[in-house]
Amino acid sequence: MYLVEFFAPWCGHCKALVPEYEKAAAALKGVVRTAAVDADAAKSVAGEQSIKGFPTIKFFFSDATGKTRSSTYEGARTAEGIVEWAMAKASKAAMTRLGGGGVGGGTGGGGGGSDDGTRKPRGNGFYPVGSPVVTLNADDFASGGAVSATPGPYLVEFYAPWCPHCQSIKGDMEQAARSMKGRVSVGAVDCDAAENKPTCGDQGVEGFPTIKLYVPGKRSGKIFKGERSAAAITEWALSEGAAFFAPPKVHELTSHKLWSDACLAEGSASRPVLCVVSFVPAIHNASAASRSKQIADLREVAKRFVAYDIAYFWAVSGEHPDAQAALGLEGPGLVGFSPSKQAHAQHLGATDVDSVSDFMSLLTRGKVGLRPLAGSMPAFSTVPAWDGKDWTPPPGYYDDEL
């Protein structure tokens, strides 16, 4: 078994890799042979190995039939990452010769998860029953299994219990799972378990932990290559899976109970990070067409920001005077409210899709300052729902003008 680096003398990344590769070679001495090939001087060899960039590190081994096989390293350019991957490949190569098909180390991140309640709880010593990370097995990847049958995105962590990186990332994975509950299903597969090794091999797992996102209509998952943190994993999974999320509902605010249930949701795991309320002009100061368009534009904004945990509302300006004033608005406008911080920010500009989206982009990235409520949040009024029609003056409304 050989670990070979293909480099070019003029390549800056190759020069930077030298000390890391030498450390890796020293650590692997007696286990995996290491070498380096100057691809500028040995162009034919580099061509045969389809080397298209520098540095490229490949692992070579002979299978049980004597055929030479290879695999390309795609992880971090560090001694630790290279050694971990090479040792995993060596283990897999040895198991292949035995006919065992084992799987080992490599690149990628971790995962967290949530059960949809339709399956019997499953756990193990790594992610026990009750963990937000669902324990998966080979059946879950078969036709009709949890991963393939779930209508939305499924984030899967492939791990080995003995892997230090897998152990250190558990907390982040569980935090990511809780953050994405209801939008991205998340599970984990123990690739060290004999019954799961063929599945891990079929899924192209070459190292631990590896995270893949599976979406409806595609059999292969997309691998996560970012920072192994809850924030990074959550952001990536929500971004990649956004096309499969159902757009959030835009509620007409007709009572404080609706606001309390959909926004405040105190003590609930489904409590949104933000609540957005568009206060529209009273119907006698507008038209049914203009109001309908404003509501439709808010729905379009909700679609654009579907990856974020936001609840959307619209209300008639003036019908909820105490709550509207507490949120800093004296007339029509849009406000973003953080239920956890009890703070708000206003948008008093145009209400078209692009203008509101610009405000939302700043708000979701923390670029807009939030102002704390002056006191407790007043209740929204109980009002009748809009009938969708233009305003009709009551009988005698114009009598004084005669």
Contact 290, 278 (CB under 8 A): no
Cα–Cα distance for residue pair 39/17, rounded to 1 Å? 15
CA angle 12, 17, 23 (to 5 degrees): 160
Q: In what order do the strands lie in the sheet with 56-62?
A: 33-38, 2-7, 56-62, 68-72
Q: At what angle do helices 288-304 and 353-364 cross, to 10 degrees?
A: 40
Cα–Cα distance for residue pair 211/227, rounded to 1 Å? 11
Cα–Cα distance for residue pair 332/181, rounded to 1 Å? 34
Neighbours of 398 (CB within 10 A): 9
Cis amide linkage into residue 394, ω under 30° from 0: no
Secondary structure element (H or E) that encloses residue 313, with its range: strand 310-316
Residues with Cβ < 8 Å from 157, sequence gap 6 or more? 109, 110, 111, 112, 133, 166, 173, 186, 187, 188, 189, 209, 210, 211
Cα–Cα distance for residue pair 127/144, rounded to 1 Å? 23
- Active-site residue among 163, 191, 200, 275? 163
163 belongs to the catalytic site: yes
Q: What is the β-pairing status of strands 222-223 and 274-280?
A: unpaired
Secondary structure element (H or E) that encloses residue 25, with its range: helix 12-28
275 belongs to the catalytic site: no
Secondary structure element (H or E) that encloses residue 213, with its range: strand 210-214
- Active-site residue among 14, 200, 263, 275? 14
11 belongs to the catalytic site: yes
Q: Which residues are catalytic?
A: 11, 14, 163, 166
